[in-house]
Amino acid sequence: MYKILKAEKLADKIYLMDVEAPRVAKHCEPGQFVIVKMDEKGERIPLTICDYDREAGTITIVFQEIGASTMKMSKMIAGDYFRDFIGPLGRPSDFVEEDLETLKNKKMLFVAGGVGAAPVYPQVKWLKEHGVEVDVIVGSKTKDMLILEKKMNEVAGNYYPCTDDGTYGHAGMVTTKIEKLVEEGNKYDVCIAIGPMIMMKFTCLLTKKLEIPTIVSMNPIMVDGTGMCGACRVIVGGEVKFACVDGPEFDGHLVDFDNAMKRQQMYRTEEGRAILKVQEGDTHHGGCGNCGGDN
Interface residues toward other proteins, by CB under 8 A? 23-24, 26-27, 37, 41-44, 68-69, 83-89, 223-224, 226-231, 233-235, 240, 245, 259, 262-263, 265-267, 270-271, 274
x/- letters, 72..111, toward ligand FAD (CB under 6 A) = ----------------------------------------
Consult the annotation and say whether 279 binds a ligand.
Answer: no
Distance CA 62, CA 8 (A): 9
User: Which one, 23 or 130, has the nearer CB to other proteins?
Assistant: 23
C-beta separation of 155 from 161 below 8 A: no
69 binds Mg ion (CB under 5 A): yes
**Residues contacting residue 276 through CB under 8 Å, at least 6 positions apart:** none
Residues binding ligand FAD: number (CB under 6 A): 26
**10 touches which of Mg ion, ligand FAD, other proteins, none (CB within 5 to 8 A by kind)?**
none
Consult the annotation and say whether 62 binds a ligand.
Answer: yes
C-beta separation of 140 from 221 below 8 A: no
**24 touches which of other proteins, ligand FAD, ligand FES, none (CB within 5 to 8 A by kind)?**
other proteins
x/- letters, 253..272, toward ligand FAD (CB under 6 A) = -----------x---x--x-
**78 touches which of ligand FES, ligand FAD, Mg ion, none (CB within 5 to 8 A by kind)?**
none
Secondary structure E strands in 77-134: 81-82, 84-89, 108-113
Q: What DSSP character marks residue 285? A: -
Strands 84-89 and 33-37, by their bridges, are: antiparallel
Phi and psi of 177, rounded to 5°? -70, -40
**254 touches which of ligand FAD, other proteins, ligand FES, none (CB within 5 to 8 A by kind)?**
none
Shortest Cβ distance from residue 245 to other proteins (Å)?
Answer: 7
Distance CA 142, CA 156 (A): 21
**Residues contacting residue 2 through CB under 8 Å, at least 6 positions apart:** 19, 20, 21, 36, 81, 82, 83, 84, 85
Q: What is the DSSP string of 48-66?
A: E--EEETTTTEEEEEEE--
**244 touches which of ligand FES, other proteins, Mg ion, none (CB within 5 to 8 A by kind)?**
ligand FES
224 binds ligand FES (CB under 6 A): yes
Consult the annotation and say whether 288 binds a ligand.
Answer: no
Helix, strand, coil percentages for the chain (3-state, nearest 5) = 35, 30, 40
Task: Give me the residues that bind ligand FES (CB under 6 A), please.
Answer: 222-225, 227-232, 242, 244
Q: Would you list which residues are annotated within the binding site for FAD?
A: 62-64
